[in-house]
């Protein structure tokens, strides 16, 4: 990054990696493990890229030979392979234990106890010591830098259920009817196990009669639970295990008890394991994993390509160029850049560490406290997951679960997201005014024009993404794939571009495009099809019209650009590429691999660096996606059990009974549950579980479906900054070298917009630009009788309420705000944003008194918003007047002559 950080100590790349691994409990590999894990990760990304580009049919059309078909997989088979990749990487990336857990500590006491009892030379002591050493070698990884033998065994076992699903789909279809009767044994599925099976059968253990399908489903479920424990902690693991146990023994709950609604019908393990493992309608391989296969992974990969291209640091530079000289400029730049990168990465922790390594030192240097700096970064990073157009992985889950078009989801999410970041901007500004924190000198910041000239092309993939999704209405999978091709093509052109190649490179690209378009006009196919037609290998296609040919050639331009640029790179591999500025991780990977090949000079080769960029992006994307894949696989069990057991209607009735049919109580319970479930759990898993349990009660209470899903998402994101498990805030504290709990408390306060804004759009769907549950059209926007009361007034009230909340939290506007006035600002904020809250409280009191009422009508809510506006204006005027008086007093004190001056 070109911002001058001066003497303010920041984190080195190694320190960033160590902090990330510490927070995410992920290994740092060495030696052969680095290569093996990278190859598996790249294979995972290759598998997903093929699916995005070509679908579930694996084959190709070869010249002369013709079409070669390797396999055509079903959704269940693809999902099983997807989960298997995630499990294998999880076992290789996350250790079984570091020897610090409860079980490890208890087992660790055995050897000292035996030694103390029997002495050092006793055979039992030596045996215990040897057993303890072998156990530590097989399972523990205290330094988080080696793959233990147990990890390798689990990784191999993780491939077995997927192998069975991929090769025995016909038998799985029979299981749907006959369950596990007359299915193959393990020895029949895996030939190397046949001798073992025969031996066990010979000694009276009838393994030949045991269904391999059943055993593998149990094994797969246990592996999912173990991978979840490693990658995500005990909370989600325990919850999923509890639901599995409930599916088997939930019928023991007495129907006439207080929780009798949770009683279900008895079921067998055979039915449970089939439904949770071998279907795409429920369980591990159900809808959440399908969303990961089709949408989430490809966009995580897109984010990885964009980040490794250097776009992340360029966007940070641009944010500082635009805002760095303003009052509180470094913090404002952090809000902008962290929100943007959080949108792409989908990980609050990763974004806090990587982006915060640059933004936090600059905030501290400008005058913000370490705790406030870490809090701003973590709050903005977690908020990035609700920022369109990518929204981390959340947008794709919402699309799948609600059936809402992607374009409608991002349109609906825009205004609430802008309100959150507006609130962050307001609060860092007020903190800067209170502390007299200015911006950085222009000399220490990148020049806006030069920064734009050096990286304007980074906007192209984002513009294309919006075009593909919103205008062209491509499928999400195809849009993600085409955008990745655009990033690679763009970086290939940048790698080949310099002063000497500029004209011939651009001219060759133009000529190749025209030749491709001409081929479509004359032969009905591209250049390769034309060559085959001229050689008599293939018949010529139907010629296209000029406009159709131009569009078809544009679709091929990414591949054309990559091939043409590759030729220029190979012709001048050592030439300088002035615009090429990969992420430091790419250059580090190129240097390490070049040294491994004993050719360190390769690291300076443009072609080698470009290849390192592609492979490092694929590796990084797979590592980031591993946690998400494990999370959605585990979380899918919860809605699976609810669906299969018939619990859904009873659970909805129980929740409605607990909430007393009060929407306010129901929403509050939902929000609190979202925070609790989201603590230490990825947003995706929290969202899947809560939507499965609470969507029906929310919709029955009158909440619009899309608003209900966004409500769960917003509140769930609060978990990342809510003590005591504020993982993103703790990561920010680590970067800022600040006190963890104080940083978390500040981050929680800065994020309170995520609490009130969801209430606002639930009660006023016009904030989401929804009318009768659908996105408003142009005709709706011209209906002033609807737009003004249902859209304009709530939206303006939301932004003004966010402003008032910012004053409340910081305690400063034009000057210090008293405690009494802060309370008044908070009341004004609620009245402006969500006047329905006090009205529903009054309705509840009147209902208890036996007086029916309906107070949440426009006339009353508009009046309360008017009162809130009057309060805000009056409080602001008083605060400004007091600030003017203080300034006048300060000027008088400065200008008055001191004693003895005369």
pLDDT single digits (tens) 659-672:
877 888 889 988 88
Crossing angle of helices 476-496 and 546-571, rounded to 10°:
40
The radius of gyration computed from the CA coordinates of the chain, to the nearest angstrom, equals 30
796-802: average pLDDT: 96
pLDDT of residue 492: 92
Full DSSP string of 693-739:
HHHHHHHHTT--HHHHHHHHHHHHHGGGGSTTS-HHHHHHHHHHT--
How confident is the model over 272-305, as pLDDT tens digits? Answer: 999 999 999 989 999 889 989 988 899 889 888 9
Mean pLDDT of 668-678: 84
- Residue 186 structure tokens: 């393990």
Which H or E element spans position 774? strand 774-775
Examine the pLDDT at 552 and tell me if it is beyond 80. Answer: yes
Q: State pTM to two decimals.
A: 0.87
pLDDT at position 683 over 80:
no
* pLDDT tens, position by position, 450-509: 878 888 888 888 888 888 887 888 888 888 888 999 999 999 999 998 888 889 999 999
Q: Nearest 5°: CA angle at 555, between 549 and 556?
A: 90
Determine the Cα–Cα distance for residues 642 and 181; give it in Å rounded to an integer.
26
pLDDT at 2: 42
3-class secondary structure for 173-196?
HHHHHHCCCCCCCHHHHCHHHHHH
Q: Kindly report, residue by residue over 206-243, the tens digit of the pLDDT.
A: 888 889 999 999 999 999 999 999 988 888 899 899 99
CA–CA dist 726, 720 (Å, integer)? 5
Q: Percentage of the chain surpassing pLDDT 90?
A: 37
Q: State residue 23's pLDDT score.
A: 62
pLDDT of residue 898 exceeding 50: no
More confident site: 500 or 81? 81
Is the pLDDT score of 713 beyond 70?
yes
Q: What is the pLDDT of residue 3?
A: 44
Look at residue 140 and give its three-state secondary structure. strand
Q: What is the band of 362 on the pLDDT scale with cuts at 50, 70, 90?
A: confident
Token duo for residue 246: 């409930």
Tell whether the model's pLDDT for residue 388 goes beyond 80.
yes
Tell how far CA 231 is from the center of its chain.
15
Residue 748 corresponds to which tokens in the numbers above?
């929680």
Region 721-737: mean pLDDT is 87
- Gap between the Cα atoms of 401 and 394, Å rounded: 11
Is the pLDDT score of 794 beyond 60?
A: yes
pLDDT value at position 894?
57
Better-scored residue on pLDDT, 205 or 218: 218
Query: What are phi and psi for residue 757, nearest 5 degrees?
Result: -60, -40
User: Over 90: is that where the pLDDT of 879 sits?
Assistant: yes
The pLDDT value recorded for residue 1 is 37
Of 510, 491, 504, 514, nearest to 568 (Cα)? 504
Q: How many CB atoms lie within 10 A of CB 238?
A: 13
Assign 7 a pLDDT band (cuts: 50, 70, 90).
very low
Closest by alpha carbon to 43, among 633, 627, 626? 626
Task: Specify the pLDDT at position 337.
Answer: 84
Q: Which percentage of the chain shows pLDDT scores above 70?
A: 94
Report H helices in 179-268. 186-189, 194-202, 212-232, 234-249
Q: Coil, strand, or helix at residue 57?
A: strand
Q: Which two tokens stand for residue 678?
A: 């989201």
Residue 12 scores a pLDDT above 70: no
| 72/47 Cα distance (integer angstroms) | 13
By the 8 A CB rule, do 356 and 720 touch?
A: no
Confidence of residue 900 (pLDDT cuts 50, 70, 90): very low
Residue 126: which residues within 8 A CB-CB, separation 6 or more? none
Task: Specify the higher pLDDT residue, 23 or 260.
Answer: 260
Q: How confident is the model at residue 82 (pLDDT cuts 50, 70, 90)?
A: very high
Whether 13 shows a pLDDT value over 80: the answer reads no
pLDDT mean over 818-830: 95
Q: Are 754 and 768 in contact (CB under 8 A)?
A: no
| DSSP state letters, 776-814 | --HHHHT-HHHHIIIIIHHHHHHHHHHHHHHHHHHTBSS
Computed over every residue of the chain, the mean pLDDT equals 86
Higher pLDDT, 64 or 317: 317
Ranges of each domain in the chain: 31-232, 777-889
Give the mean model confidence (pLDDT) for residues 681-696. Answer: 81
Q: pLDDT at position 899, please? A: 44
């Amino acid at each position: 990054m070109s911002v001058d950080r001066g003497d303010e100590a920041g984190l080195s790349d190694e320190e960033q990696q160590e902090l990330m691994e510490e927070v995410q409990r992920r290994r740092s590999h060495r030696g052969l493990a680095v290569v093996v894990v990278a190859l598996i990760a790249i294979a995972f990304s290759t598998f997903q890229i093929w699916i995005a580009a070509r679908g579930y049919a694996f084959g190709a059309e070869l010249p002369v030979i013709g079409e070669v078909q390797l396999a055509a997989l079903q959704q269940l088979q693809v999902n099983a392979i997807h989960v298997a990749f995630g499990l294998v990487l999880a076992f290789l990336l996350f250790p079984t234990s570091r020897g610090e857990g409860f079980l490890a500590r208890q087992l660790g006491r055995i050897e000292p106890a035996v030694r103390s009892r029997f002495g050092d030379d006793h055979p039992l002591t030596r045996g215990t010591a040897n057993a303890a050493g072998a156990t530590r070698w097989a399972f523990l990884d205290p330094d988080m830098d080696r793959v233990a033998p147990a990890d390798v065994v689990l990784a191999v076992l993780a491939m077995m259920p997927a192998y069975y699903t991929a090769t025995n789909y016909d038998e799985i279809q029979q299981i749907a009817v006959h369950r596990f009767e007359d299915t193959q044994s393990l020895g029949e599925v895996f030939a190397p196990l046949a001798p073992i099976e025969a031996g066990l059968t010979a000694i009276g253990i009838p393994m030949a009669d045991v269904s391999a399908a059943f055993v593998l489903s149990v094994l797969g479920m246990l592996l999912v639970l173990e991978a979840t424990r490693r990658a995500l902690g005990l909370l989600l693991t325990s919850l999923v295990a509890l639901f599995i146990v409930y599916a088997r023994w939930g019928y023991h709950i007495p129907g006439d008890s207080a929780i009798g609604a949770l009683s279900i019908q008895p079921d067998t393990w055979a039915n449970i394991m089939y439904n949770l493992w071998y279907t795409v309608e429920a369980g591990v391989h159900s809808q959440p994993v399908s969303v990961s296969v089709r949408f989430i992974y490809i966009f995580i990969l897109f984010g990885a390509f964009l980040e490794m291209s250097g776009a992340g640091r360029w966007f940070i530079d641009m944010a500082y160029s635009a805002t760095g000289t303003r009052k509180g400029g470094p913090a404002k730049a952090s809000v902008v850049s962290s929100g943007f990168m959080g949108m792409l990465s989908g990980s609050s922790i990763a974004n806090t560490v990587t982006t915060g390594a640059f933004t936090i030192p600059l905030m501290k240097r400008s005058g913000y406290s370490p705790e406030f700096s870490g809090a701003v970064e973590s709050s903005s990073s977690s908020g990035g997951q609700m920022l369109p157009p990518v929204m981390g992985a959340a947008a794709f889950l919402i699309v799948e679960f609600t059936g809402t078009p992607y374009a409608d989801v991002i349109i609906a999410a825009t205004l609430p997201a802008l309100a959150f970041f507006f609130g962050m901007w307001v609060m860092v500004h007020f903190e800067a005014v209170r502390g007299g924190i200015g911006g950085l000198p222009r000399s220490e910041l990148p020049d806006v024009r030069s920064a734009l000239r050096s990286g304007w092309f980074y906007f192209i993939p984002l513009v294309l993404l919006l075009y593909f999704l919103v205008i062209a209405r491509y499928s999400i999978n195809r849009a993600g794939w085409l955008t990745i091709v655009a990033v690679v093509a763009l970086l290939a052109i940048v790698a080949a571009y310099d002063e000497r190649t500029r004209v011939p490179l651009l001219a060759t690209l133009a000529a190749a495009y025209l030749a491709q378009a001409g081929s479509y006009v004359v032969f009905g196919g591209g250049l390769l099809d034309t060559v085959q037609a001229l050689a008599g290998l293939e018949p010529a296609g139907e010629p296209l019209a000029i406009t159709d040919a131009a569009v078809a050639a544009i679709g091929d331009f990414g591949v054309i650009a990559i091939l043409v640029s590759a030729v220029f790179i190979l012709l001048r591999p050592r030439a300088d590429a002035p615009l090429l500025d990969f992420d430091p991780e790419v250059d580090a990977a190129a240097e390490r691999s070049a040294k491994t090949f004993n050719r360190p000079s390769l690291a300076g080769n443009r072609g080698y660096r470009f290849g390192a960029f592609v492979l490092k992006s694929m590796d990084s994307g797979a590592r980031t996606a591993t946690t998400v894949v494990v999370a959605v696989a585990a979380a899918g069990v919860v809605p699976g059990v609810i669906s299969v057991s018939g619990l859904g209607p009873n659970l909805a009735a129980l929740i409605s009974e607990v909430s007393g049919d009060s929407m306010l109580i129901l929403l509050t319970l939902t929000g609190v549950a979202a925070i609790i479930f989201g603590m230490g759990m990825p947003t995706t898993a929290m969202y899947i579980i809560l939507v499965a349990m609470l969507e029906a009660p929310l919709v029955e209470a009158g909440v619009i479906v899309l608003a209900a899903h966004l409500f769960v998402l917003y509140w769930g994101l609060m978990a990342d900054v809510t003590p005591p498990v504020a993982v993103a805030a703790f990561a920010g504290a680590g970067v800022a070298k600040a006190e963890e709990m104080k940083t978390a408390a500040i981050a929680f306060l800065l994020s309170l917009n995520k609490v009130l804004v969801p209430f606002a759009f639930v009660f006023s769907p016009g904030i989401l630009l929804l009318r009768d549950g659908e996105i408003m059209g142009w005709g709706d926007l011209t209906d002033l009788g609807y737009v003004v009361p249902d859209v304009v007034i709530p939206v303006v009230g939301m932004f003004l309420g966010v402003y008032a909340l910012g004053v409340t939290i910081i305690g400063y506007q034009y000057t210090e705000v008293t405690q009494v006035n802060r309370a008044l600002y908070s009341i004004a904020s609620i009245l402006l944003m969500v006047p329905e809250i006090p009205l529903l409280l009054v309705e509840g009191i009147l209902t208890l008194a036996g007086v029916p009422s309906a107070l949440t009508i426009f006339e009353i809510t508009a009046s309360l918003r008017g009162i809130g506006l009057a309060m805000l204006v009056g409080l602001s005027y008083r605060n400004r007047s007091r600030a003017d008086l203080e300034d006048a007093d300060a000027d008088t004190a400065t200008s008055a002559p001191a004693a003895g001056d005369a």
